[in-house]
Amino acid sequence: MTLRLRLSLLTAIIVLLGLGLFGVLADLLFMRQQWRQLEDLLLLDLSRVQTLFQNQQIGARFISESSTDFVVQVVSSAGQPVLPPNAQAVLPLYEQPTLDSFEGKTLFIAAVPWTLASGAVPGTIRIGLDVSKTLLARRSLQRILLLTGLAMAFLTLLLGLLFLQRALKPLGSLAAQAKRLDPAKPQAIAYQGPEDEVAEVAQALSNALADIRKRQEAERSALAEIAHELAGPLTLVAGHLDSLAAQQNYDSRLQAAKEAARELLYTSQDLLTLSRGELERPLELEIFDLAEVVKRIAREYPGVNLVLSGTAEMAGNPQRMAQVARNLVRNAVQAGGSTAGVTLHLQRQGEQLLLEVSDKGPGITAEDLPHVFERFYTRKTKGGVGVGLSVVREIVRQHGGTVTVASSLGRGSRFVVSLPSLDTQLSPSEEMT
């Protein structure tokens, strides 16, 4: 459940509880005040009637003139009606004003002693005040309170949700920007909103991203220096080893040193590519035949099985595509332990150029497979810094293509690079990314 939904539900619950509590309290207070007024009125009338009945003739005349909403009875000590003499039912005896039902009506009933002028008390005087109209008015008031409360709840809830939506808009914008952040290129958060706790979070996030950028730049500079320092001596060593290999008969130790120097040189080139930010710059495009690039890479690794299906023209950077092919072949050779079983296959399939590199190595586990293209992620227990395949993915992405991997334990792996052909790139409906 999202924060917005939780706060909306909380707002609705608070509004409804508040209005419900207000309605209940208003009804209770109104009822209490109403009953108190009726009680005071009843006791006052009861006192007046008691005074009147000290004179029986006046009292009898008063009872005969009583309205239907006001019932007065004089009851003997034996519980028999005295006035009016034809009363079919006797009001209940309540010393304090009490609500009760009498002859199908709801009455507020109270009683006082019937005291004669002589001081004798032959019975009680009982009064019942019909409160049916009062109860009807109360129910009408309750309906009004309910309808008014519902209308107020709707309006209050609507205004509360609008205010909540507006208050959460900066937080939503902040969350959306955080989701779009590229860990490799963290950018500052653009915050537009009031100076509140959300602003503090945005500022803290921006400060953290700024520190990350500074650290990345420092690491990139250090990496560039290291790679540059390695590239010069490794180029010289590789050159001398090539010369020695050309002058002398085959020597396995010399060949191993030559291959090791070449691998170190290529790794330093990958590090330089990353450290200089070359994968983040726009490509300088030229038209070239990818098949020629692939042939050259295959010659660097004698024993690799090369399969070509005609030409494969495309627009891009041939040096970068050579780096892609080389890194994939290097990865396959290292996985299998030799060039045996490594196949480099280039073909055209529809509008796409497919470059496939497969090996018969141990394969990649399902746990490692989703991470093989991540920077600095490596499955090798010895050697390897985990940059070759990440460079492959970025270069392929620059050329508007994709790279995928399929692997089976004990059977090897297959990397497939899909690139748009020259015809597709020149089509008006297609654009290079």
Of all residues in the chain, what percent carry a pLDDT higher than 70? Answer: 69
Give pLDDT, residue 79: 82
Average pLDDT over residues 74-96: 82
Top-level CATH class of 193-276? mainly alpha
Place of tokens 């004990």: 410
Average pLDDT over residues 86-97: 83
pTM: 0.48
Q: What tokens does 17 get?
A: 């509880």
Give pLDDT, residue 12: 73
Q: Cα–chain-centroid distance for residue 331?
A: 40
Long-range Cβ pairs for the range 96-103 (8 Å, 24+): 97/38, 97/39, 97/42, 97/43, 99/131, 102/71, 102/128
**DSSP string for 18-55:** HHHHHHHHHHHHHHHHHHHHHHHHHHHHHHHHHHHTTS
Name the residue ranges covered by the structural domains of the chain. Answer: 3-153, 193-276, 283-426
Over 90: is that where the pLDDT of 163 sits?
A: no
CATH tag for 3-153 (out of 3.30.1490.20, 3.30.2130.10, 3.30.450.20, 3.40.718.10): 3.30.450.20
pLDDT digits (tens, 9 = 90+) for 120-157: 888 888 888 887 777 777 778 778 877 887 787 788 77
Q: What's 239-295 look like in SS3?
A: HHHHHHHHHCCCCHHHHHHHHHHHHHHHHHHHHHHHHCCHHHCCCCCEEEEHHHHHH
Range with lowest mean pLDDT among 36-45, 208-217, 249-258, 293-302: 249-258
Q: CA nearest 353: which of 431, 283, 298, 424? A: 424
Task: Give ∠ CA 370-410-334 in degrees, rounded to 5.
Answer: 70
Q: Which residues pair with 112 in a beta bridge?
A: 125
Over 70: is that where the pLDDT of 328 sits?
A: yes
Q: Which CATH architecture has domain 283-426?
A: 2-Layer Sandwich (3.30)
For helices 56-64 and 3-52, give the axis angle rounded to 10 degrees: 140
Average pLDDT over residues 404-419: 93
CA distance 378 to 388: 10
The phi, psi pair for 421, rounded to 5°, reads -75, 170
Q: What tokens does 353 get?
A: 């150029």
pLDDT digits (tens, 9 = 90+) for 30-69: 667 666 767 766 676 666 666 655 555 555 555 554 555 6
pLDDT confidence tier of residue 236, bands split at 50, 70 and 90: low
The helix/strand/coil state of 67 is coil
Of these ranges, 67-76, 168-177, 396-405, the one predicted with the greatest mean pLDDT is 396-405
pLDDT confidence tier of residue 429, bands split at 50, 70 and 90: very low
CA distance 220 to 406: 32
Over 50: is that where the pLDDT of 431 sits?
A: no
Give pLDDT, residue 235: 65
Q: CA nearest 63: which of 87, 43, 85, 83? A: 83
Give pLDDT, residue 204: 83
How do 412-420 and 313-316 pair as beta strands? Answer: unpaired
- Measured CA to CA in angstroms, residue 59 lies from 47, 49, 53 at distances of 13, 7, 5
The helix/strand/coil state of 337 is coil
Q: What tokens does 87 get?
A: 């009363």
CA distance 413 to 360: 7
**DSSP string for 181-221:** --TTS-------S-SSHHHHHHHHHHHHHHHHHHHHHHHHH
Q: What tokens does 249 get?
A: 């008969």
List all residues 6 or more positions away from 379 whose beta carbon is below 8 Å from its beta carbon: 364, 368, 372
Q: What tokens does 367 get?
A: 């746990």
DSSP state of 370: G
Place of tokens 């500074």: 214
The more confidently predicted of residues 390 and 376 is 390
The more confidently predicted of residues 418 and 106 is 418
The helix/strand/coil state of 312 is coil
Q: What tokens does 56 get?
A: 């029986």
The more confidently predicted of residues 17 and 229 is 17
Averaged confidence pLDDT in the chain: 77
Q: 3-153 with 193-276: one CATH topology?
A: no
Give pLDDT, residue 15: 72
Range with lowest mean pLDDT among 51-55, 258-262, 305-309: 51-55
Q: In the sheet that 412-420 helps form, which strands lie side by side, from edge to edge?
A: 305-308, 343-349, 352-358, 412-420, 402-408
Of all residues in the chain, what percent carry a pLDDT higher than 90? Answer: 14
Place of tokens 């109360």: 138
Give pLDDT, residue 432: 41
Place of tokens 């003739």: 57
How do 402-408 and 412-420 pair as beta strands? Answer: antiparallel
pLDDT confidence tier of residue 325, bands split at 50, 70 and 90: very high
Give pLDDT, residue 433: 40
Give pLDDT, residue 430: 43
pLDDT confidence tier of residue 308, bands split at 50, 70 and 90: very high
Q: CA nearest 125: which of 75, 69, 60, 81? A: 75
